[in-house]
Amino acid sequence: MTTCQECKSFFPLDEDQAKGDCVQRVKDPRQAYYMAKPVNAEDDCSSCASFHKKEFVQ
């Protein structure tokens, strides 16, 4: 199962790494914006069309 925390768009909360925001760039017909939606790190995002795997830098 793929989870939100593996995604580039996931930004964990400092105070609780199990929670965070899914932050995405959107361009609609009138404007461009960034949006944030609260998610849990462990949420299943197997069917999420916006999933982009996070690249880990050692």
In the complex, which residues of this chain contact other proteins (CB under 8 A)? 11, 21, 23, 25-26, 28-38
SS3 9: coil
Q: How far is the CB of 1 from other proteins (least distance, A)?
A: 22
Nearest CB to other proteins, comparing residues 38 and 52: 38
- Residue 20 has a CB neighbour count (10 Å cut-off) of 23
Q: How far is the CB of 29 from other proteins (least distance, A)?
A: 7
Q: How far is the CB of 41 from other proteins (least distance, A)?
A: 16
Kindly compute the dihedral angle of the four CA atoms of residues 43, 46, 52, 54, in this order, to the nearest 10 degrees. Answer: 50
